[in-house]
A and B are shown apart, each in its own frame.
Chain A
Amino acid sequence: MLHRRKQAGSPIPGFGLSMGFTLSYLSLIVLIPISAVFFKSASLGWTHFWQAATTPRVIASYRLTIGASLAAALINMVTGLLVGWVLARYDFPGKHFVDAMVDLPFALPTAVAGIALTSLYVKSGWFGRYLQPHGIQVAFQPAGIVLALAFVGFPFVVRSVQPVLEDLDQELEEAAASLGASRWQTFRRVIFPSILPALLTGTALAFGRALGEYGSVIFIAGNMPMKTEISSLLIVSKLEQYDYAGATAIAVIMLVASFTLLLGINLLQARIRRQEAEA
């Protein structure tokens, strides 16, 4: 598959060495270990695998993980669009500082994010002390999981939408305005359709990240079986009980889900590039 294309003899040396090292290292670190999880699950046999992957406790964890990830991704979509818009369109003091801050969730270790968010939303926390008297419980509830997932996924939408908004042809908007379109109409009819693919890509990336998230969630979740136990945590608990079959079965389901999502995102991005090429 990876044969060097016949060409008019590139004078640059080192193809064999660099490609050889790349492929060996890729196989050793990534491909062989990932294949282990599929071999292991194949050795379980279909019925055993399916049983392990669909116990009520596991199903409850999928439901929670997918639901919370979806909710977090939608929050990211709205807030990410707002922040991306403000950063791309407006000037204000401290803009560069704010722009740098957006990446904080990428840079901050997940465990640190987890304990910091928990400390804010527990009963004595800076936010919890005002929320709990009103009956709003965040820590140790599904809401806490959504919050942690929205935190770690936040930069994806901003960073997808922001460059598209910056490159958007302003003449188009001016034309719409001169034809009598209101600001809202211009946004809805002209701007929104052109940023929609980027917005969806960013949201899908945030969703994918949320599906597998672990460190930021476990501190704030409470981790009650059937209620606030995410799939990643269930894999860890199964491993702690030396239930490798059970852990592997959940892992395979999660891997297939995230690989499918990755494929979808790649197709979406290919479409965006085609659109850009046509424009």
Chain B
Amino acid sequence: MSTTLPLPKVVSAPRTHSKQGTTVRRVLIGAALVFLTLFLAFPLLAVFAQAFVKGLHAYLAAIRDEETLLAARLTLMVIFIAVPLNLVFGLAAGWAITKFDFHGKNILITLIDLPLAVSPVVSGLIYVLVFGLHGWFGSWLDSHDIRIIFAVPGIVMATTFVTFPFIARELIPFMQTQGKEEEEAAAVLGANGWHILFKVTLPNIKWSLLYGVILASARAAGEFGAVSVVSGHIRGQTTTLPLQVEILYNEYNFVGAFAAASLLTLLAVVTLIARKTIEWKTSETEE
């Protein structure tokens, strides 16, 4: 069984169902469901209720707003740069860590997780300190008229940092459970490295790879704190979709803000469905 996707096993409790036990069970299930409804479902519903509060027309107009569309386009662009970079990294790190033995492996795995321990705002700040006007390369970049901070490259970098561990973290534990016998066999039979990667390894890891890509894309689309620090909030130019939500909200354009938010919410729901589907797929192949 893979360690990354713990499947909820359906435990059919063969215990004696005393009357008292049944009551306890009902109360606990009821309490959990009421809590989850109030705590998780209502915020989700609130997004759509607020987005449609002035009707479908107002909603569609808010989504077709030029700045919101530009923000959505920028968000997609950032995903299409940051996620493939981290995908290549995840494969390289997974290959190096799970197919070979070397000293310092555990340190390397810890370092890969490091961005998870850095808060979003600090994730943005570190890039300001490197590339900002008063940062390490600030004056050099300025004299060459290259803008990274308060421009798109900074947004891409901060997003890449924040989503850095996602794919590697999915792949490494999964590839560890797969072992390396198949690759070794292929190598002994004379296949070259790229052949082994594409014909042997990738087909085995495709589901956990896909799941890592989905997680990283969802996070890249929704990242707020890190991007907020490096963006400069230039409307129509350096605002991603979450930043556009903030701008509209602060202008009391609630329909606009929640309409933009509804797009991000749909993406989140798709992520959850994809997770369940992939869990189901992997458990099927294992059985």
Contact = CB atoms under 8 A, between A and B. Distances in A.
Nearest to A260: B117
Nearest to A107: B268
B121 interface: yes
Interface in B230-257: 242-243, 245-246, 249, 254, 257
A3 B103 contact: yes
Contacts of A274: none
Contacts of B12: 91
B261 A12 contact: no
A111 B222 contact: yes
Interface string A75-90: 0000100110111111
Given A21-B88, A22-B89, A232 B161 contact: no
A259 interface: yes
B143 interface: no
Given A113-B43, A235-B121, A119 B50 contact: yes
Interface stretch (B55-63, B65-73, B187-195, B203-211): B187-195
B164 to A, nearest CB: 6
Given A19-B96, A22-B89, A104-B40, A12 B125 contact: no
A51 B167 CA distance: 40
Nearest to B280: A96
Nearest to A10: B100
B134 A108 contact: no
A112 B47 CA distance: 8
Interface stretch (A24-32, A54-62, A132-140): A24-32
A5 B193 contact: no
Interface string A211-235: 1111100010000000000001101
A241 interface: no
Main secondary structure of the interface of A (DSSP, over half): helix
Nearest to A242: B134
Contact of A15 (B96, B221, B223, B265): B96
B77 interface: no
Main secondary structure of the interface of B (DSSP, over half): helix
Interface in B135-194: 135-136, 157, 160-161, 164, 180, 183-184, 187-188, 192-193
A5 B276 contact: no
Contacts of B121: 212, 214, 232-233, 235-236, 251
A194 interface: no
Nearest to A98: B36
Nearest to B180: A12
Interface string B25-47: 10011011101101111111011
B44 A89 contact: no
Contact of B96 (A18, A82, A170, A232): A18
B184 A11 contact: yes
Contact of A30 (B42, B114, B246, B272): B114
A11 B161 contact: no
Nearest to A92: B29
B15 A112 contact: no
Contacts of A235: 121-122, 125, 229
12 contacts: A2-B102, A5-B103, A17-B193, A18-B95, A22-B97, A29-B157, A37-B126, A111-B243, A166-B8, A219-B249, A254-B119, A261-B117
Closest 4 CB pairs of A and B: A212-B119, A109-B222, A215-B224, A214-B225
Given A17-B92, A18-B91, A83-B35, 14 more contacts: A10-B99, A12-B180, A12-B193, A19-B100, A31-B114, A85-B28, A100-B275, A102-B36, A104-B40, A107-B268, A110-B225, A116-B46, A232-B122, A235-B229
